[in-house]
Structure formats: C-alpha cells, structure tokens
Amino acid sequence: MAAAGAAAVKPVWPRDKRAIVNSPANITDPLVLFMPSGKRGRFPVGTPVLDAARQLGVYVESVCGGRATCGRCQIEVQEGNFAKHKIVSSNDHISPKGAKEERYERVRGLPERRRLSCSAQILGDLVIDVPQDTVINAQTIRKDADTRVIARDSAIHMCYVEIEEPDMHKPLGDLDRLKIALMKDWGLKSLDFDFHLLPQVQGILRKGNWTATAAIHKDAESETARVISLWPGLKNEAYGLACDIGSTTIAMHLVSLLSGRVAASSGTSNPQIRFGEDLMSRVSYVMMNPDGREGMTVAVREAISGLVDKVCAEGNVQRNDILDSVFVGNPIMHHLFLGIDPTELGGAPFALAVSGAVHIKASDIGLKLNQGARLYMLPCIAGHVGADAAAVTLSEGPHRQDEMMLIVDVGTNAEIVLGNRQRVVAASSPTGPAFEGAEISGGQRAAPGAIERVRIDPDTLEPKYRVIGSELWSDEPGFLDSVQATGVTGICGSGIIEVVAEMYLAGIISEDGVIDGSLGARSPRVVANGRTFSYVLKEGEPKITITQTDIRAIQLAKAALYAGTKLLMEKQHTEHVDRIHFAGAFGSFIDPKYAMVLGLIPDCDLDKVSAVGNAAGAGARMALLNRGYRREIEQTVSQIEKIETALEPKFQEHFVYAMALPNKVDPFPKLSAAVKLPPRKTVSEDGVAGDAAPRRRSREGHAARRGRE
C-alpha cells in the first residue's frame, strides 16, 4: 500500500519514465539521485522518497506498505555539492519528520541521519543513499530441482520427416507436401500450422534438402495437432521452462523435453516486493494507484525474462530452442503475471478472474522464447489457494494414497491441503508475514548473517545459535571468524520458530506465551521492557532481543495456521494425520520438532514429518514433461473441496485454543513421547509466574480477531 500522501502523486512506471525525466515542462522538478545504484529522475515536490525509488526501480524494502511501522525503508540524505551529477543536496531539501516518523523513532529508534522513505517527501534536489544494511532482498534462493524421474509425454513432440520434392505434374505446395509427410509418418489424423511459419516453409525445406524437423504441439487428445516451429534437417533437442512465481522468490528450471534432464536452475527475488511485502499490500497498492497493476506485471515479467537469460546461459541453450513453459503461483501472482487486476481477490467473495488452466502462446504475454512457444498455467484451487498449491498437490499426490496427508506451504498466506484418495480438502489461512521476519523486532529474510538455528540451555538460560553462511555454533571456536564477512544481522523464519519453541521448553515463556520476568533473577538474558519482559538472544551490535510483542506475533501466525488445519481435519472427520509435508523454500528449513512444539502443526510421528522443498516447482516440471499430469491435476482440482476459513464459525474457537503452546486443548502424545515438554504454568501479563489459572478468553478473543483481520 502506498505511503500516506502518495495518492496525490501519480506513479510513473518505467515505460513512461522518460517522459517525466526528460520533459522540458518538468525540468524544474527536483532531481533525485539514488546511490549506490546511480539511478536518477525528476519528481514533483511532495513525492514520497519511497515512491520515487519505486518508479526508478530502486529497491527499497517496505514490509508495512508505507505505514512507517516496519522501519525497513530507511535512507540517508547525502549533503554537499555533487558537481559530477550537478546536484546540490541538503537535508533542507527533504521534508521534516512527521508524526508517524517521530513515533517510530520514539518507539523503535532511528539511527542518526536516517529517515523513513515512506514518510519523507522530496522538496528539492537530493542525493539519497540506500544503506546496504536495510537491503534484505538478497536472500538465499534455495529452490533447486529435485532428482525425481518423470515419465515423459510432453505436449511438444519433435518430428523429423523427408518430403517429396516439387514436381510439375503434382501441383501441391511445399506446405501441403510437408503436412502429408507428417501425417503419414507420424500417424496424425489432422494437422494445422502456426501462421508465422507460412513465409518460412520454402526456405527451410530447401535448406534442409527436403528434410525437416517439426515441433508439434498437442496438449489434450481432443486437440488438433499444430506445427509451432520448423528446422531444416534433423533437430534433436527441445527445451521447456518450469517456473514457480512466489510472492518472495521466483524459481525457474530449464528442462530438456526429450530427456527430462534439468539443464539449469536459477532463482531471484520477486521485484514486486518493492510495491508491498505481503500479498494484500500489493492488492492495496493496485487499488490506490491506477497504474499499479501494470507496474507489477511489468516488474515480474522482466524478472522472469532475466531468469530465462540466466538458465539459458548456464545450460548453453538458445531462447529459440524453448518451445513450452509451465508457470504456477498463488492467485495474486497468477493474476498479475497474466496482466489481470487482482483487486477482487482483496475482499470477499475473493473472486478469481480465471480459475481453470490457462493455455496461451508465450508471446501473448511478451515472453520471448521460440516464436511458437506455448505457455500453460495450472488451475487455481480457490481465491487464496492457487496454482502453486495445485502444483504441490500434483507433486505430493495425497489423492493417490490411502494415508491422510497434510501439506502446508507456510507463507504470508499459508496454503493447506489435507486428504487421501477418498477426499481432498483445501484452505488458506492468514498467517501474516511474521514467519518471514516482518513484525519481528530483529526479523529478516533468510540471507547470510541471519540466525537460523537456536538452542537454549534450560539450566543457565544461555543461548547458542547458528547463522546462514556458517556451519559453526556461536559457542564454538572460530565462529566469529566464520561470520566476519556478514556479521550476525538478524533472525530469519526458521530461527524465529526455534527461539520461541526453545524459550517455551526452557521455561522462559509460559504455555500462554508470556515471558516469566521472575527469571531475571537467574539470568541477565531476561530483561524488563516497559511493562513486559524480553529475552536477549545476542549481545553487541546489533543487539537482538525477543520481545513479548515478537512472541505474540508468532502466536497469532501459528494459531491462524493451526486453526485452518483443524478446520480441515474436522471436515475430514479425523482427529489425526498420518503424514505432514512442509512445502516451499521456507518449509525446507523448518525443524519438524520445533514446529510441533510451537503448535504450528498437529501431533504426528516426527519421522513422518518432512520438508519436500520446492514441491510447486516439482509439480510444474511434472506438468511440463507429461501432459497426462495436466489432465490429472485439472480433474483433481475440480474435485477438491474448498473451505473458506473466514466463513467458518469454529475458526475463532480453534484460533483461541491454538494461541497456547503447543495447544490449550489438543493433546500431543506423539510429541510428548519424543520431547520433554515443560510443566504447565501461567504467567500474568506483567511477567509474574503463578499457578495454573483459567484462560483469559477476552484477551485471546481479541487476539483471534486480530489474526482474522
């Protein structure tokens, strides 16, 4: 969502930018230069700095969508006469701190010279530095392809033929003789040609000395086969793309359509993050900015085009050799990629513009592959359970087995699928961005320097941790040297889950999630923080503490996910699940034990809880290499029962119980057999421990309402 006051400034997207920057009518507008990117442009007085950055494609992270609450959009004004750039930059050329920015500085603190770009407005020429310690988008992209073998029956077939040469006594055209040869040699009953091939046929046949290889596209059996590309002589390779468009990252695999070999894989951050960290903030941005949808569509398509360049270079493949592609994504990513306004997904009844599978030419959306290349998108399951969840379902196959399987894709909007061959149900649950580091005081995404593993000694309450980029624990010799390049910068999602679970196991927090302030007498790690208490995970700079507010944010997120799962279990008339799969890049690094201690997932044998990696990407590869899988998931999605958690009266009840660790009413016998859970105790809101007391319904009811909002 745009920052306050941004409504008066019409955003300009890259294709229109030159008109503003170079227009003589706007030459008096302030000139703004962003460093270290070097991007510059002119903007009207009063434009929020964050909006200017977005319009120029400068990455400035904004978790809160411009509400001046996350502090991620910090910038610094460089003062002086920058003769090289013909800019005199001064703090007088940026608006004074407003009420929101002052409140943030008072509550959270703001380093000297730092400003929040969502609140600060341009008043004159500026040179603005984007501090690299605020750029957290360069997270570790961990979405490699798995090694499964997929039976091949792709929608593309390469067909080599030898064609009769022209004969004055047989007045058939070259195209017609090619068509006859293909139908005769390959058993095709009917055949059409893409129009773009008509001017090329004669030259290709003569260059190949009357031999050619045709790429024939035939997805469904009922379709007429179409020649989409043609080469002289023998062409013995063709490629396809399988791509998972996540709200945070985009993962792409370049795959041989003939061998099934993954020639290359690559990933990148989704550039739409600069318009909003979570899905709803991006929908809000579209609502508030007339050109918002177009800007985000352009951004994601450009990122995908860049990934195509990367995988082609890595796999030594030409774009012209890519003949098919399969894309998946959540409903909002799905719509924005296709150029569809996602506004209707922002509120009930969460109506999809397109729910079924999409079959188009890649060129229809400006994706430059082979001129005849096709694009297929898996069907969406529901308004907030998208084609990515369908791909995960295809990959993991709950509908193919007798066991009751739970599949969870943890994100800002968790997607949940539960079922077996008898019945499959699905839902989404509003977990929010806490598991990705937002709303957490020291939170960040998974990047080098982020704490990803935590252990707390239950006797001394002393912690140790591991960070991304080092294999050593913080109490091991050589740890400081191993993290010298990155430092310890914050805590990512897997670390957040572990530290809260470890605090519970060590008795630092009660089952209701309240930090026991009396433990301050035992350990200096437990410190007062106003009316509540905090736990110091890391001393030094930056100091990383786990606050009472952080724990509440995790409780709200995990309670929403568990409540959604509980609803699906009730719909399935079951009190247990046989197997749990964590999908997605984040799910790959969640320790099942700590997820269960937290109460993120229901009780289950720990050896039957596993991470399945980028299952959405695996499902996309399956659909790319075998058209039978396309029919399978289309039929399966049509039979999946969609549960709308917002309409379920029991959701709030489940949510309230799920606020406790691991849960207020549900037993966890299998977890208890594997992990020693602490005795139940309650702690008052001011951090004083006491005997077990009745549940405070009013406060937790309020928490439940916050979670649904």
Same domain, 287 and 342: yes
Surface-to-core class of residue 173, CB atoms within 10 Å of its CB (0-12 exposed, 13-18 middle, 19+ buried): exposed
Per-residue pLDDT, averaged over 379-383, amounts to 93
pLDDT at 181 over 90: yes
How far CA 701 is from CA of 560, 661, 681, in Å, comes to 13, 16, 20
Which has the minimum average pLDDT: 23-27, 92-96, 377-381, 705-709?
705-709
* Tokens representing residue 193 in the block: 């040609």
Q: What is the CATH number of the domain that holds 126?
A: 3.10.20.30
Same domain, 419 and 451: no
Residues 562/601, Cβ–Cβ less than 8 Å: yes
In a domain, 238, yes or no: no
470-525, pLDDT tens digit by residue? 999 999 999 999 999 999 999 988 999 999 999 999 999 999 999 999 999 999 99
Which has the minimum average pLDDT: 84-93, 384-393, 564-573?
84-93
In a domain, 654, yes or no: yes
Q: Apex CA 401: angle with CA 395 and CA 406, to 5°?
A: 65
Residue 13: per-residue pLDDT = 26
Same domain, 322 and 360: yes
- Distance between CA atoms of 448 and 455, rounded to whole angstroms? 19
Same domain, 420 and 275: no
Q: What is the CATH number of the domain that holds 623?
A: 3.30.420
Q: At what angle do helices 615-625 and 387-396 cross, to 10 degrees?
A: 80
pLDDT at 700 over 60: no
202-245, pLDDT tens digit by residue? 999 999 999 999 999 999 888 899 999 999 998 888 999 999 99
- Distance between CA atoms of 438 and 496, rounded to whole angstroms? 11
pLDDT at 645 over 50: yes
Per-residue pLDDT, averaged over 410-430, amounts to 90
| pLDDT band, very low/low/confident/very high, at 21 (cuts 50, 70, 90) | very low
> Of the candidates 76, 95, 96, 92, which has an alpha carbon nearest to the alpha carbon of residue 33?
76
Per-residue pLDDT, averaged over 405-421, amounts to 90
Label the pairing between strands 225-232 and 191-193.
parallel
Residues 307/246, Cβ–Cβ less than 8 Å: no
More confident residue, 331 or 447: 331
The length of the chain in residues reads 709
In a domain, 680, yes or no: no
Residue 27: per-residue pLDDT = 66
312-322, pLDDT tens digit by residue? 999 999 999 99
Residues 640/393, Cβ–Cβ less than 8 Å: yes
Q: What is the CATH number of the domain that holds 176?
A: 3.10.20.880
pLDDT at 116 over 90: yes
Residue 707: per-residue pLDDT = 41
Same domain, 254 and 366: yes
Per-residue pLDDT, averaged over 294-304, amounts to 94
Per-residue pLDDT, averaged over 7-26, amounts to 35
Residue 588: per-residue pLDDT = 74
Residue 689: per-residue pLDDT = 64
337-369, pLDDT tens digit by residue? 999 999 998 887 888 999 999 999 999 999 999
> Of the candidates 105, 230, 229, which has an alpha carbon nearest to the alpha carbon of residue 163?
230
Which has the minimum average pLDDT: 103-112, 202-211, 350-359, 593-602?
103-112
In a domain, 139, yes or no: no
Phi, psi of 223 (to 5 degrees): -80, 155
Q: Which of 519, 543, 567 is the last residue of a domain?
A: 543
In a domain, 597, yes or no: yes
pLDDT at 433 over 50: yes
In a domain, 143, yes or no: no
Q: Hey, how many other C-beta atoms are within 10 angstroms of the C-beta on 647?
A: 9
Residues 461/506, Cβ–Cβ less than 8 Å: yes
Same domain, 651 and 576: yes
- Distance between CA atoms of 374 and 240, rounded to whole angstroms? 9
pLDDT at 668 over 90: yes
Residue 59: per-residue pLDDT = 67
pLDDT above 90 coverage of the chain, percent = 63
Same domain, 226 and 250: no
453-467, pLDDT tens digit by residue? 999 999 999 999 999
Residue 613: per-residue pLDDT = 82
246-275, pLDDT tens digit by residue? 887 899 999 999 888 899 999 988 888 778
Per-residue pLDDT, averaged over 294-314, amounts to 95
- CA 361 to the chain's CA centroid: 25
In a domain, 125, yes or no: yes
Domain that includes residue 581, residue range: 396-433+554-674
What is the number of structural domains in the chain?
A: 5
pLDDT above 70 coverage of the chain, percent = 88
| pLDDT band, very low/low/confident/very high, at 690 (cuts 50, 70, 90) | low
Residue 147: per-residue pLDDT = 64
pLDDT at 414 over 90: no
Same domain, 120 and 199: no
pLDDT at 305 over 50: yes
Q: Which of 182, 210, 232 is the last residue of a domain?
A: 232
- The pTM of this model reads 0.76
Q: Provide the mean pLDDT of the chain.
A: 86
More confident residue, 411 or 410: 410
Same domain, 486 and 575: no
> Of the candidates 373, 427, 435, which has an alpha carbon nearest to the alpha carbon of residue 410?
435
Q: Which of 77, 103, 134 is the last residue of a domain?
A: 134
pLDDT at 574 over 50: yes
Residue 273: per-residue pLDDT = 76
> Of the candidates 20, 51, 9, which has an alpha carbon nearest to the alpha carbon of residue 34?
51
Same domain, 426 and 575: yes
Residue 517: per-residue pLDDT = 94
Same domain, 570 and 627: yes
> Of the candidates 58, 59, 35, 43, which has an alpha carbon nearest to the alpha carbon of residue 11?
43
In a domain, 127, yes or no: yes
Q: What is the CATH number of the domain that holds 362?
A: 3.30.420.480
Same domain, 429 and 558: yes
pLDDT at 36 over 70: yes
pLDDT at 15 over 50: no
